[in-house]
Structure formats: C-alpha cells, structure tokens
Amino acid sequence: MVDSTNQTITQEAPPLDELKSGSPPFTSLVQQLTQVVGQANILYNADELLVYECDGYIVDKSAPDIVIFPTSTEQVSKIVKLCNQFNVPFLARGAGTSLSGGCLPIGGGVMIVLTKMKQILEINLRDRYAIVEPGMVNLHLTNALKGTGYHYAPDPSSQGSCTIGGNIATNSGGPHTLKYGVTTNHVLGLEAVLPDGSIIELGGPTAETPGYDLHGLYVGNEGTFGICTKAIVRITRDPESHRTMLAVFQTIADATRAISAIIAAGIIPSALEMMDHGIIQAVEEAFHFGFPLDAGAVLLIEVDGLEIALDEEVRQILEICESCNVREIQRADTPEERQLIWKSRKQAFGAIGRLSPSYCTQDGVVPRTRLPEILEFIEATSKKYNMRIVNVFHAGDGNVHPILLFDERDQEQIQKVLEASEEILEKCLELGGSVTGEHGIGVEKINFMSRIFNETDLDTMETVRDIFNPRQICSRDKVLPQHQSDEKAGVVQSHPARRAPH
Amino acid sequence: MSPTHSGSQEEFVPASQTELSRFMTDNTAAAQKQIFPVGGRTSLSVCCPASQSGTLICTSQLNRVIDYPVRDMTITVEAGMRLDQLNEIVSAEGQRLPIDVPQSNRATVGGVIATNTCGPRRFSYGTIRDYVIGISAIDGKGNLFKSGGRVVKNVAGYDLSKMLVGSLGTLAVISQVSLNLRPKPETMSMVWFAFDSFQNADRALEAIVTSGTRPTAVEYCNSKAARQIAAESRSELPSEHQVVCVCFEGPANVVNWQADQIREEWKTFSPLSSQIVGAEKATKLYNAFTEYQTSSDDPVTLKAVLLPSQMMKFVEAASQLNIAVQAHAADGIVFGHLPDSASSLEDVQQILQQLQKAISPQTGHLTIYQCESEWAESLPLFCSAPSGWALMQQLKNALDPDQLLNAQRFSELVEA
C-alpha cells in the first residue's frame, strides 16, 4: 500500500505492506468504505491522490492511499472503526491550509476529508453560540451571521478557505486575535470521533460544564486526539464602528517602536499588522493598492468598538506614530477603503507567487518588545543564506511570519530553507518566544519540541495524547517526537521527483 | 461554613517548586499520604470535599514574581501569589488581571486556576482560562511539567493549562503561572434597574444581545439577595424587588454615554426605577456581587450554569423556594443560598429535586457549590453526569495513579 522506505519515522507502524494497492485486504477495505460513503465520496486512484500529498507546507510530501469524504458523524465513526479493523492509519483534513504539515499523511493510510460536512446546525443569538460542522469554512459562518449584529471572531488570513474544524485542530489565530483571542477562547464545546471510533461530546453551549475542561484540552491537538465532527462556538458582537489606518514608516525599527508604544499606552487595537518592504512590493505588484514602494514598513492598525470611543483612540495612536517618525498615515474613511486595506493584508500570501516559485512561511513568536531583534536577525539570515525573506505578520502579538522564498526544484535551496528556518526559530526561543504562534507543530517543527520542553513535559503530553489515541493510529507522527532523544524526527520528501510548477 | 479539611492533617510548606516536586515523589514512593493542595484557603468548601486525613500542601511561600516584562503585558508568578498582591504590582503599571475573585486578599493565583473562580466581569473578559499562557505543575507522581510559555500567542504542544483550570487540585499541584494582562480602564459605573416581574427582567436581559452599549458585566439578584448585597455594600439597592445591574468600564465619556443609553433603551421594559451609580459606590456594589458566591453562612450554596435564555425559569423556581439568588445573568451562571428553613439533609434534597425540574440536560446543570461537610457525601455534588466522564477518569488515573491528589473531590463526581 505504501512504500515506507523513504520515511525517516521509525515508530512501529501498522503492517501496511499487507494492504498494498490491489491486494485483497486493500480491495476489501475500499469496498467496505465505499459502502459507508458511496462511490462518489471515495478516491483511491494514484493520480487523484496526488492532490492530497501535502498541505500548505510543501517541503514534505506523502500521498494518502485512500481519500474519503464523509457527510455525517456516523459515517466518520464507521470509517474510523474500519481503519482500526484493518490496522490502517488515518487522519482528518479540512481545506488543507495547514502550514506545518498537519495534514501530511505520513505512511499513507486513509485521509478523511471533512469538507462535505459544512452545515450550520444552529445559530442562537440570545445565548451567543453557533453549532457548525467541522468542514464549515471560517468566513462562511461570519457571512451567515451578517445582519444579526454578531460574527465569529477568529479570522486566520486563510479564513476564506480554512475550515473551523481545522482551526480547532491548530488553535488558529489571525489578525483580530490581538483583541479577541485565538480559537480556544471561542470554542464552548465539541463533538468528536475518538481514534477508536467512539463518539464523544465535550463541553457544551453553556458557559461552563462540570468536570475537567476537556474541550479546552482538545483545541490545538493538531488532529492527534481524534476527529472533530461538530463545534459549538461562541459568537461575538460586531463592533459598532472601526477606524482603519495604514501607517507608513521609513524603517522597520521605527515601526516596531510604534507597535510596542501603542500596546504600552494601554491601547489594544483590534489588529496591528506589519508588512515589510519586500511584501509591500509584492502586494503592490499584484494588486496596485498604491503602497509607497520605498517604505521600510507599513503598519495596518485597526481599532474598533463604540463610535464614541474611537476618535480618542485614533488620536493617541497618531500621536504615538508621530513620535516614532511615521512618514504618512492613510486612513480608510469608507467601508470600501477598509475592505481594500484588509484585502492587501489577507492576500499578501497570494502575491508571493509573483516573487518566487515556492515559499515557506515561518511562524515564530517573540515578546512584543523583542520584535526589532528578531527582525534584524531575519535580515541577517537572509543575507547569510543569500535567500530573499519577506515579512508580513501579526506584530501586536509578536507573531512573526518570515516568508522564505526559494525554488523547490533546487535541492540545495530546500536545504537552505530548512537551515535558515531553523536558525530563525532558534532565535525566537532564545528571545523568550516560541516556534509557533498559530500554525502548529505538525511535522515541520517536531524536532523543536525537545528543545522547548524537557523530557517530563513531553512525557506528560504523551500520556495525555495516549488517553485519546493509545494506538497512535490517528494522525500519527505529529506534534510529539517519537523518541525524545532523537535530534530530528521529521520526514523526508516522499516524492522527491515532484516539483513546483513554474 | 465549617472547614472541610478537618481530618488529622499535617502541613508542608515548600519553598520552591523543586522542593515540592521532591516531596511529591517521595510521597508516591513511600508514605502515600493523601495530598490536599491549598492556596489562600478561600475555596476549601467549594465542591464539598469530605474530610480526610493527609497532608496539606500550602503554597504560601511560592509567592514570587519570576518575570514581569511590563511592556509585553505578561507576568510570570509563583502559584501562591495572592490576587491582591498581583494586582497591586501590575496596577502600578496601569495593568490588571480582569478576573473577579472573592476574598482576593487571601485567594491565590493557583487557587483561582484550580477552582476556575470568576465573577461578574466574565461576560466581557472571560475567565482565568483565557489569561493563562503558560503553566508549571507537579502531578501525583511528583513529575514537574510545564506547557505553554511566556508569550501571548503560542501553540507549541498541548495546552495542558486548560486541563488544570477547574480541576480542583485533583490532577496536579500548580506551581508557576504565566499570565496575559490587560490595560486598566479609566473608570467604571453601574446602572441598576428594579423590576417587579421575572418576565420584564428577562426581556431586559434579552435586549443585551442587541443593545447599543457594551456592558462589562450584567448582574441579576432577586429581592432576597438584593437585600443582602445592599447591606453588604451599604448601597441603596431597591431591596424589595428584583434588580438588574449593568456595569460599564472605560474612558469616562464612554462610560457615561453608555449609562444614559441603557436607561433609555430599557424604558420599554417598564422598570419600576433605575439609577446610575458613580465609580466609588459602584465599586463597593461590584465587590459585593463578587463576594456573594461565598459570603453566606447558609448551609448550602447552589450553583447552576444555564443557557442565558433559560436562566429566568430557574431563577423563578428558586425564588419561589425562598432561595436568595444572584446571577452573572448574561452568562447564565446562578448562585443560590438556601434558606435557613432548609435545615435538614432531607429538606435540601427535596429542594434540589424541585430545582432540577427547571433544568434540562441540554440547557444547563446544577451543582452543590458549598455545603456543610457532613452533608457532602450524601448530596449529589453534580446533578448530572459530565460528558466525557470516562476520559476524565483516565486522565485522573494517568496523572495521579495512586489517587493521592484531592481524590475525594474527584470521586464525588463518580456518584453523579
């Protein structure tokens, strides 16, 4: 079924060889899975599977052997039980927007794609919650709430395509999480199919539920605790009004001083995003927003709340920016102008395609006050490796996203990307931060876990994971290194011949 | 309320988390004494653990600031730090931890996390679970583990802090915590409204959903609780009626605008009277609302957590049983102090049965929040079994295999 010779993971795996494509057990599994979901909801031909060989993290690839599209919790449960019966690993996938290889089917197996489970099951304004299926696209929930005075607050940059189930798996953030918090702050409860196929409910629509906060523990498990099949999420009042601004700075140092000063002044903007010189050029080239091409950095600053409060907040922010040598400030005076500014930020990643055939987005975090140091280090790393690195990130949270531009066709460049990324993330740790603020550990950063956490920490996490996933048959080889003494527990490219298109 | 840990008990006061870890390891290996972690001893009766012999682990010496990078608005402290001490430190920098805690001069950070204590402000600011960004703790085997870190955004590894919030010291002893902080608002005010019908009060509460204002807290109390809260705070609450108090925080002009606005909006719900209370008196009233959940000498305090839309049905049933009721109304969290007439276990059980009828499993649950220790073993601590109970048991067994940590608090859940 899977050629496991090109995997570096050495953990005991189910006997996949018995299930090679075309073998009797494989055919039997396909037949039984087809009975569960119907012929139209299952893929197992090699060319169809290639689409699912990686997510947004393209450095590692590994195709699943079967891709299946359930439409109900009961179907998910039956699929998982069959996987157990056939001793085949499985994992869930939403829209595949993970940037750390969270959806990488290491060793193949069954990929359970939840995009057909996308219904809104309930919206309750009085009690401020919504119940949705996991394949619901994040933005679609907010769109469905339009006109009610409420929205769903977590808004990753990929919110137009990422799913709420995926957001729960990774505890996603986004620009507005500076003020409103990340996904875990907005999940009241969930339903999940555990790795043995049983269905469980954790938490609920009320403010609290008795016993341990298992739904809180579940959020951010990166798919290793089972498959979320229903989510009860908090919905948030729309702010009465916004003020959105673009502050243009000559240097990154001035921009980062402004970030720190705004927070220190006791102002919590609803968003505080930075784009550096490189990303400004890419965005301008792609979308022609009118950004000054010679600017060192641009800050997207948004405050929201009651109309009566905003002008004073804006006045304070302008004053702080002035004191930090701001070059100019553009204000969005109409909803259309605001939308345009946000489009520039949210589509920045799309613009990268004009700069390079491939890119790798990192996700380091530093204390807000250490932003100048990490940005200097990123610049130095760019020079050291002779590799272009651009930055667009959630500055208010100290969550940097250096984007390393490279050509996937050149093995040497891939190696440089890995080394440069590693050095940047090491620096984040050295500055008191973390290697991931919102993308997750996945497979990409698994070798960092033993540098962040000691053996006891990892043992405890492993103990907790094993309660949910004792056989590690679900989303295996993610988050926790197999052997804590292993220096590197990643995966090599399963399909080294495949290249990114020009 | 009688003290809970009334068995034969010794006390251990560790000076560091290493010392605590060593003690726990040794205890697991040899003595196997029951361990009862205590912070400020303000919540020993919460969730009614039965008396038992063992060792109290007192965190009073674990009270240091480890790191306070002011401009990052985060702080790392040892778990035994008292809430008032913490707030005094961060207040000097114009910051705060926006969690309301009864007896904050005694309550500790670790205790607040273990009990998931919160108050009126949870409506706008959430609970302590939303502020813990990193945690260290020692499990029943003596293993010192951590999760999270000191930055406000971090998803490396599993969020074990969530597992510990509200775990009542049954999984591990919390030793060190990193917290996210918020700016301190310029001022606050409160507007109270008196209602003579449950229906009108409920209609007003429903209107919060679409109000032009953004309250930081919405408190409800029936007339019996209103009398007690008015006396406690020396405030002029309309103590013959139900009262809804809406609280605002922020810049003075914004707070004042909202106070006027809510009075205008709620005219339509026919309040008997209403009044704006300025910052100084509002603070006293607000503190009384915070303290009320643990303030009573009555033998039993109930806690019901309901959907806000279902809350008034429960409140009406409780009021008819002469129970003093206070609620964090917009969150559907109700505290009820049983009347003196509920003097026997049988009386209490009968009241519980009647209240349970006002709650469906889909819309809420009822717990005994505090009671006389001699009744603890006889009352249904949690009136409905929590979902995920089997996983909770496994978690408990994995982190505390010898059942040494506050075991009875957890086992009471089994009886549900």
The yes-or-no verdict on residue B7 having pLDDT over 70 is no
Domain end position, chosen among A47, A79, A113: A113
Cβ within 8 Å, pair B365-A465: no
A178 and A89 within one domain: no
* pLDDT of A13 over the 70 cut: no
Q: Report how far residue B185's alpha carbon sits from residue B258's, in angstroms, rounded to the nearest whole number.
A: 15
Same fold, B187-292 and B296-384: yes
**Model pLDDT, residue A291:** 83
Min distance B209 CA to chain A CA atoms (Å)? 6
- Token reading at A464: 């907790």
Question: What pLDDT is recorded for position A339?
Answer: 86
Same domain for A229 and A146 = yes
Q: Kindly list the distances between the CA atom of residue B244 and the CA atoms of B31, B222, B327, in Å, as whole numbers in the listed order.
A: 53, 9, 9
Chain B residues with CB-CB distance to A154 below 8 A: none
Question: What percent of chain B clears pLDDT 70, i.e. is strictly above it?
Answer: 93
Q: Is the pLDDT of residue B41 over 90?
A: no
Does A368 contact B71 at a Cβ distance shorter than 8 Å? Answer: yes
Q: Do A85 and A101 have their domain in common?
A: yes
Please identify among residues 239-278 of chain B the ones whose CB lies closer than 8 Å to any CB of chain A: 250-251, 253-254, 257-258
- For residue B411, the model assigns a pLDDT of 65
List the single residue in A217, A460, A466 with the smallest CB-CB distance to B159. Answer: A217
Alpha helices by DSSP H, listed for B209-360, are 223-233, 252-265, 279-295, 308-320, 345-356
B213 secondary structure, DSSP code: S
Which residue in chain B has the smallest CA separation from A465? B158
Which is higher by pLDDT, B385 or B153?
B153
Q: Cα(A44)–Cα(A19) distance, rounded to whole angstroms?
A: 13
CB A270 within 8 A of CB A242: yes
Give A463's contacts in chain B (Cβ within 8 Å).
398-399
Q: Is the pLDDT of residue A207 over 60?
A: yes
Structure token pair of residue A325: 């040598």
Q: Is residue A163 in a domain?
A: yes
Q: Which of B212, B213, B251 sits opposite A312 (nearest CB)?
A: B251
> Which chain A residues are within 8 Å of B95, Cβ to Cβ?
266
User: Could you tell me which residue, A380 or A177, shows the higher pLDDT?
Assistant: A380
- Cβ of B153 within 8 Å of Cβ of A182? The answer is yes
Residues of A in contact with B165 (CB under 8 A): 213, 216
- Residue A58, pLDDT > 70, answer yes
CA–CA gap between residue A428 and residue B153 (Å, rounded): 13
Is the pLDDT assigned to residue B1 strictly greater than 50?
no
Q: Is A266 on the interface with B (CB under 8 A)?
A: yes
pLDDT above 50 (res A440): yes
**Can you state the angle between helices B223-233 and B279-295, rounded to 10 degrees?**
120
Q: How far apart, in whole angstroms, are the C-alpha atoms of residue B191 and residue B276?
A: 4
Backbone CA torsion sign across A261, A262, A268, A269:
negative
Mean pLDDT across A461-472: 96
Residue A492 has what pLDDT? 35
| Residue of higher predicted confidence among B239 and B70 | B70
Is residue A454 situated within a structural domain? Answer: no
Residue A392: strand pairing partners: A275
* A193 within some domain: yes
Q: How far is B416 from chain A (nearest CA, A)?
A: 11
Cβ separation A434–B156 shorter than 8 A: yes
Q: Is A362 part of any domain? A: no
Is B3's pLDDT higher than 80? Answer: no
pLDDT digits (tens, 9 = 90+) for B261-316: 999 999 999 999 999 999 999 999 999 999 998 876 777 899 999 999 999 999 99
- Mean of the pLDDT values across residues A132-158? 96
Show residues of chain A in contact with B163, CB under 8 Å.
212-214, 216-217, 464
pLDDT number for residue A22: 74
pLDDT recorded at residue A423: 96
What pLDDT shows up at residue A487?
38
pLDDT-based confidence at residue A270 (cuts at 50, 70, 90): very high
Contact call for B308 and A127, based on CB within 8 A: yes
* Fold of the domain spanning B296-384: Alpha-Beta Plaits (3.30.70)
Q: How large is the average pLDDT for residues A76-89?
A: 96
Q: Does B184 touch chain A (CB under 8 A)?
A: yes
Weakest-pLDDT range from B165-169, B357-361, B409-413:
B409-413
What interface predicted TM-score (ipTM) does this complex get? 0.95
Range B200-222 average pLDDT: 97
Are A142 and A228 in a shared domain? yes
| A136 shares its domain with A226 | yes
**What tens digit of pLDDT does each residue of A153-204 get?**
999 989 999 999 999 999 998 888 899 999 999 999 999 999 999 999 999 9
A102 with A491: CB under 8 angstroms? no
Instruction: List pLDDT tens digits, range A302-349.
Output: 999 999 999 999 999 999 999 999 999 999 878 888 888 888 787 787
Q: Rg (Cα) of chain B, in Å, rounded?
A: 21
CB pairs under 8 A between A and B: 238
> Which pLDDT score is estimated for B209?
94
pLDDT band at residue B48 using 50, 70 and 90 as cut-offs: low
B401 touches chain A (CB under 8 A): no
Is pLDDT above 60 for A493? no
Tokens 């349970």: give the residue: B356
Return the pLDDT at A359.
86
Interface contact flag, B155 A394, Cβ < 8 Å: no
CB contact under 8 A, B151 and A468: no
A489 at B interface, C-beta within 8 A: no
Buried (b) or exposed (e) across A409-440, using 16+ Cβ within 10 A? eeeebbebbeebbbebbebbbebbbbbbbbbb
Across the interface, which of B143, B250, B253 has its CB nearest the CB of A460?
Answer: B143
pLDDT at B375: 79
Average the pLDDT over A32-36 and give the result. Answer: 98
Residue B343 pLDDT > 90 = no
Per-residue confidence (pLDDT) for residue A341, from 0 to 100: 84
My answer on whether A214 and A125 are in the same domain is yes
Both tokens assigned to A427:
């620096």
Total residues found in chain A within this entry:
502
**pLDDT value at position B381?**
66
A199 and chain B: CB distance < 8 Å anywhere? no
Average pLDDT over residues B342-369: 87
Identify the band that residue B39 occupies on the pLDDT scale cut at 50, 70 and 90: confident
CATH of B1-184+386-415, one of 3.30.1330.40, 3.30.1490.20, 3.30.465.10, 3.40.50.150: 3.30.465.10
Q: Do A189 and A127 reside in the same domain of the chain?
A: yes
Are both A59 and A76 inside the same structural domain?
Answer: yes
**Any idea which of A133-147, A198-212, B352-366, B387-401 has the lowest mean pLDDT?**
B352-366
B64 interfacial to chain A (CB closer than 8 Å): no
Smallest Cα distance from A260 to chain B, Å: 7
Of the listed ranges A18-32, A86-100, A325-339, the one predicted with least confidence: A18-32
User: Does residue B160 contact residue B395 with C-beta atoms inside 8 Å?
Assistant: no
CATH number, domain with residue A76: 3.30.43.10
Confidence at A498, pLDDT banded by 50, 70, 90:
very low
SS3 content of chain B, % helix, strand, coil (to 5): 35, 25, 40
DSSP A98: -
Domain end point (choices A50, A78, A113): A113
- Boundary (domain end) residue, out of A215, A237, A259: A237
Q: Residue A79: which domain range?
A: 21-113
- Residue A16 pLDDT exceeds 90: no
A72, A30: one domain: yes
- pLDDT attached to residue B382: 67
Q: What is the mean pLDDT of residues B228-243?
A: 89
**Euclidean distance between CA atoms B288 and B217, whole angstroms:** 13
Over 60: is that where the pLDDT of A70 sits?
yes
| pLDDT computed for residue B235 by the predictor | 84
Chain A residues 339-368 with a CB less than 8 Å from chain B: 365-368
All structural domains of chain B with their residue ranges: 1-184+386-415, 187-292, 296-384
Q: Does residue A501 surpass a pLDDT of 50?
A: no
Q: How far apart are the first and last CA of chain A?
A: 31
| pTM to 2 decimal places | 0.93
Q: Do both A79 and A130 map to the same domain? A: no
What's the pLDDT score for residue B43? 76
Q: Is A237 an interface residue toward B (CB < 8 Å)?
A: yes
What's the structural domain count of chain A? 2
Strand order from edge to edge, sheet including A42-43: A42-43, A66-68, A110-113, A90-93
Same domain flag for A146 and A88: no
Q: What would the mean pLDDT of A72-89 be, rounded to a whole number?
A: 96
Are A79 and A96 found together in one domain?
A: yes
Express each pLDDT in B12-21 by its tens digit: 999 999 999 9
| Top-level class of domain B187-292 | alpha beta
Section B239-256 average pLDDT: 95
CA of A370 vs chain B CAs: smallest distance (Å): 9
Instruction: Inspect the interface and report whether the beta carbons of B153 and A437 lie closer than 8 Å.
Output: yes
Predicted local distance difference test score (pLDDT) of residue B370: 83
pLDDT tens string B372-381: 777 777 776 6
Residues 14-33, chain A, touching B (beta carbon < 8 A): none
User: Which positions 420-439 of A are in contact with B (Cβ < 8 Å)?
Assistant: 432-439
The nearest CA of chain B is from the CA of A178 a distance in Å of 9
> Which segment of B68-82, B136-150, B295-309 scores lowest on mean pLDDT?
B295-309
Q: Is the pLDDT of residue A1 over 60?
A: no
pLDDT at A283: 85
